[in-house]
Structure 1
Amino acid sequence: MNNIIKKSIITLFSISLLFSCKSDFLELEPTDAIQDEDVFKNYNNARAALIGAYDQLSSNNFDGLYNPIMADIMGEDVMINSVDNWNWFTEVYQMNLLPTYSYVNSPWWSGYKLIFDCNKIIENVQFIPEATQEEKDELEGQAKALRAYVNLKLVQMYAPAHKRDNMAQSIMIVDRILDVNAEDPGRATLQDAYDFIETDLLQAIELLSDLEVDEIDRGFFSKKGVYALLARTYLDQERWEEARDNALKAHQDVPLMTANEMLQGFLYRNQETIFSIAFTQEDNNIYLSLPSFYWPVAGYSSMRANDKFVEKFSTEDLRIYFFLKEEEIDAERNLILKFGHNGTVGNAERIVIRASEMHLIEAECEAELGNYSKAQDALHLIQARAYPGVPKSKNTGQELIDEILLERRKELFGEGFRWNDIKRRQLPFVREGDHWVKFNFTANDNDYYRLTFPIPQSEIDANQNISEADQNVGY
């Protein structure tokens, strides 16, 4: 097993930020703020502003670190180690958050900063002189897809599940540029927030160019990426047919990574990547990056896999090699080898959307619709890649749904899904085994509030249309 670590380190390769055939995007210097009056005076400047907006996703306060890690340690499969954790994410793992904590504030404000920049692009792009209509539409479509992506993330974090109460208070819908004198937006209903996200995504599909799979820049939202976001949006609402149909469109003609590619680790984008975020030493603190917390050596290196979760993998499942017990590093808990730096500490690629997830959405939806044979086929495609020779499931009904949800855990662990999967389906929350903070409650218990973040106190203090009475339950 030590050879796996050594081989992984030796075979890592650097990858350019946003590498793709659309190389003209890379000729521009990105900016993380849209303030210059000249930004929308020509197409190249506006395009640089879009790159700057995308670049913000890699921030450690948002999708570069906080969001994906928190989305797994607020579950039962992954944890922060109980010692030598540098006090990072301990309150999140303990699910003992307060509205004043940075883990609550930072994603909220980073998200709304990104939404503000998207709004600037959306409101100004159609007035860019000398740009073609296709160029204008592409920029607007990208900005709307990015705005929808951020809003969906905020909804999943700061609002209860749609299944629990689709009319509950949700996030603020900010659909235009607001100056300092504008009225503060209040919290929208959850259904209104999902409807807004859906509208943005449907409009993005109409605006974005039609590209072949080999033409798609995986660092930007293509139509396939937007279909994938629609699949997630509909899945949260249990709109099974629409989620399935969009998942099919998202993974169509996108090959799965091979077993060998999977075992090389999620260090850089691969053939099944639909959307990816690259982050580099130049953009971010090299230690405040996803692989810094996962890779067993260098950085904070404090992510561990729960022993009861590891036991769910067959010894013939190739994904078992993502786990390692190494006495010299951690004699008690399972190290995780799924993620790592590519080439240099601080350089990494976070694969945000990939075809495997879309096949699993397809399987879940078909099972819910009673199309058991189709669900079994979609499930088996993912199982057989990791476990060659595994027989196709014969389960139906709830047993098949449970098998699919377990496969989501196995295939997507560490990629930022488990927290929302528990919430959206209102599943029991049970931590067992070597977790150093255990829980056991159901959706009917008071403790279930812990699966929803509080609204930041800083927002309540600053927003005239949100008061303490609007705070989420439990806080």
Structure 2
Amino acid sequence: MKNKVRTAIVLFVSCFIISSCEDFLDREPTSEVSNEELLSDLDGINFALAGVYSRLINSDYYYLKGMQMYTALRSGNVKLNNSFSGIATTNMLPVYEFNTLPSDSSPIIGSYQSLYQLITYANNIIEAIPNLADGDQTLKNQYLGEALTLRALAHFDLTRLYAQPYSYTQNGTHLGIVTLPENIGVFELPSRSPLYEAYRLIISDLEQAESLLGGYRSGRVTKAFISKGVAQALLARVYLYKKDWNNAITYASKVISNQDYQLVNHDNYLAAWAATTTNQEDIFVLETSENGAPKLAAQFGQIGTQTTVGILTKDLLEIYDDGDIRAELIEEKKEGAYVTRKFHYDASYGDRYFPIIRLAEMYLIRAESSAEIGDNIQARADLGIIQQRANPDASPVTLSGDALKDAILLERRKELALEGHYYFDLIRRGKDIVRTDCNASMNCTVSTPSDLQILPIPQKNININDNLEQNQGY
């Protein structure tokens, strides 16, 4: 029995990591035939979960490469490096130029397939756990909570990439994504539902996960697993995007009050980014050190003398005031070519881990949401905490109204730079994309709203599924 399970595990997890199973998903997202023996006990569920986690990092199309480069280029934080002539530059050029993307040619377009694969694999686990005949209930709850959170994260990122923001229409009634609360048959042809339905599923998954999860599981990097705090932090983020300010405040406050998390202080800030182990501010990270060749560091980070695909723009460099320690995370690799020290690679350990959620984001979520409901005292306090952590000599915050909201948006750009937030911040807040230090041949400025600010559904999926509607403008 044990050898059979191990064989099934190898086949199942391999299908997660390599592309040999893509035929199952060439049609609009469908259910892969799972191995019943693998998912019949908690050991098998644990191995299957490892495969779901691997989808976050073992794909060029998701967090480790494509999505981070996409947000950095489109926000104006990064521009393409003219001295880099690799295929990565060619593939990302249409993204950078807000140009109509050739069918399935850009790394970010592959995110569609990759994210639905993750959801499908998570669904296999979610459907299997209630049917387990025995096993520790606490561990069942933990695994189920992790799978639900991963499914919610993938659905949420699909909405950010392929649907207009929640505020595009009243109550998010515009076209959203295909949601998969359960796996579907191979020949089913689902349609995209209104965006509010995707948010309803995402929030339901995360609320259920919150009720099931405990602390972090033990492992080589514990914060690479999902805990109750991770589910709560993601709920704060989702409610922020939904502009449900009160719930965003509630969940951000839950995380801030959790003694497991503390802001790294000013004196240790640079060292925390230089370290290859997690710190007290990290909430959820991707552990990437064993992922082989450099990925994220090669995009716009430190990687010895090797040229990176992108370099930081003057637009980003010039927002930091004198005395802001975060400016010291920017390094001039060659004359006029700046990279970030947030992400670095060394042959002895590989890529530094990537933080998906940090506590600083929770303070900024609470600050923004408080400003929106007119609680200037809380908004100023939270904004001041992040500003004075970066520069202890920063003046107290006295702003209000739109000026306070703009200051919080700017602080999000400073603090969370190159972590995948600023582009989505601009869209959800209805701001134009204005890139001054821009070497694109077109669309250095894009007015909001715009059809071009979201991605097209891959053409191959539309060719297979007549019920799948393309985004406007493509």
The normalised TM-score by structure 2 is: 0.86
Moved more, 229-238 or 100-109: 100-109
Cα distance in 2 for partners of 1:124, 1:299 equals 46
- Cα deviation for residue 139 of structure 1 reads 1.2
1:248 counterpart = 2:230:
no
| 8 Å Cα contact 1:32-1:49 kept in structure 2 | no
- Give the secondary structure class of the aligned counterpart of 1:225: helix
- Is 1:453 equivalent to 2:455 in the alignment? yes
Divergent runs of 4+, >4 A:
210-214, 434-438
Q: Determine whether 1:111 maps to 2:115.
A: yes
Amino acid at match of 1:91: P
2:83 aligned partner, one-letter code: V
Are the equivalent residues in 1 in contact too, given 2:329–2:340 (CA < 8 A)? Answer: yes
Q: Secondary structure at the match of 1:415?
A: coil
2:95 match = 92
**Kept in 2: contact 1:268–1:342 (CA 8 A):** no
**Shift, 1:269, TM fit:** 2.2
* Matched-pair contact (CA < 8 Å) for 2:438–2:444: no
1:192 to 191, 197, 210: 197
Partner residue, 2:147 = 143
- Residue 31 (structure 1) shift: 2.4
Is 2:270 aligned against 1:272? Answer: no
1:125 maps to which of 129, 138, 149: 129
Within the candidate set 422, 429, 450, 1:425 is matched to 429
Change (3 A) 1:85 1:355: farther
Corresponding residue for 1:332? 336
Match of 2:13 among 31, 41, 47: 31
* Alignment-derived partner of residue 356 in structure 1: 360
Question: Is 1:223 aligned to 2:228, yes or no?
Answer: yes
- Gapped regions of structure 1 (runs ≥ 5): 1-27
Aligned pairs, number: 435
* Among candidates 448, 463, 467, match of residue 465 of structure 1: 467
Mapped to 1, the partners of 2:398 and 2:384 lie a distance apart of: 10
Show the counterpart of 2:22.
none
Q: Specify the code of the residue in structure 1 equivalent to 2:376.
A: Y
The SS at the match of 2:120 is helix
1:385 shift after superposition: 1.1
Superimposed CA distance per residue, residues 77-130 of structure 1 (whole angstroms, 9 cap, x where no aligned partner): 222212215241222222222343243431111101110000000001122232
Which residue is 2:209 aligned to?
204
Q: How large is the Cα RMSD of the aligned pairs? A: 2.4
Amino acid in the other structure paired with 2:296: L
Kindly state the Cα deviation for residue 296 of structure 1 after the two structures are TM-superposed. Answer: 5.0
Q: Could you tell me which residue of structure 2 aligns to residue 413 of structure 1?
A: 417
Identity %: 28
Hey, what does 2:177 align to over in structure 1? 171
Q: Which residue of 2 aligns with 1:41?
A: 40
Q: Deviations over 1:13-59 (max 9, x none)?
A: xxxxxxxxxxxxxxx98925474332122211111111121111112
Whole-angstrom CA distance in 2 between matches of 1:229 and 1:92: 27
Shift of the 299–129 alpha-carbon distance from structure 1 to 2, 3 Å rule, reads farther
Deviations 1:414-436 (A, max 9, x none): 10011211111110110113544
Letter in 1 for 2:176: S
Which one of 290, 296, 302 corresponds to residue 296 of structure 2? 290
**Would the aligned equivalents of 2:367 and 2:408 in 1 still touch at CA under 8 Å?**
yes
**3-state SS of 2:403 partner:** helix
The Cα shift of 1:271 comes to 1.2
Change in 2 beyond 3 A, CA 1:435/1:102: closer
Residue 213 (structure 1) shift: 13
| Structure 1 position 384 matched with structure 2 position 393 | no
Distance change in 2, residues 1:171/1:354 (3 Å): same
Change in CA separation of 1:341 and 1:260 when aligned onto 2, cut-off 3 Å: farther
CA contact (8 A) 2:67 2:108 kept: no
Q: Which amino acid aligns with 1:280?
A: S
User: 2:50 — aligned with what?
Assistant: 51
Q: State the 1:378 CA deviation.
A: 0.3
2:400 counterpart letter in structure 1: T
In 2, are the aligned partners of 1:429 and 1:442 still within 8 Å (CA)?
yes
Greater displacement, 146-155 / 385-394: 385-394
The answer as to whether partners of 1:159 and 1:190 remain within 8 angstroms in 2 is yes
